Amino acid sequence: MNQLKKMFVVLPIVLAAILLTGCASSPPPAQYDFGPLRLSAADRPAKLPAVRLADIDAPAWLEGRAMHYRLSYANEQQVLQFAHNRWQMPPPQLFSQRLKMRIAEAGGMVLSTADSGQSVPVLRIEITDFIQVFDSESRSWSRVTMRASLFNGRTILAQKNFSRDLPAPVPDAAGGARALADASDLAIGDLLLWLAEQPERK
């Protein structure tokens, strides 16, 4: 009887130790960003106007660092998350960082909305989709969609939607991260060309 009591005391301790060991040995989640720029001189617009860049808006599900995907062959209305993969920072921040880098590389000037100067328009961007979509277990692609609006005070000067889809090189989180980064670069390139077409404000 005493031996049986000892087993009931020791067993939970052993199980807890096993669980803690398993948690301690779990590798940290892989983290991704957009990587280095891989663009040629042909991707740079000839001239860009100065803009005041507002914080980028996005749906609530894009506010964290989770990497999202859909299984269109199973349930295209369900948004899922990779369990062991994360963005280095929320996608809107990654996109904003890349956009500022691209504008500066093209010789443009990015100001904050706190900077004065009514002659400098405010650029507001809303990311409406940023996701990896699986058509099957062996094929996936990325989608980046956004709306860009150019304001002078409360007056809207111009507005346009942008969308880019790209196949993922491999059907996993790493492939999705690469495809989403490349699709973002292409969408930003389209945005910069649109900005370059806007009439200069004085």
Judge whether 61 and 79 are in contact, CB under 8 Å: yes
- Provide the pLDDT for residue 43: 63
pLDDT of residue 39: 67
Beta strands in 12-121 (DSSP E): 30-32, 51-53, 66-71, 75-87, 110-112
What is the pTM for the complete model shown? 0.82
Please tell me the number of Cα atoms within 13 Å of 74 on its side-chain side.
10
pLDDT of 107 reads 84
Residue 148 pairs with which residues in a beta bridge?
A: 125, 160
Mean pLDDT of successive 10-residue stretches along the chain, which has 202 residues: 46 43 64 86 71 94 96 94 96 96 88 76 96 96 97 92 97 97 95 89 62
CA distance 181 to 91: 10
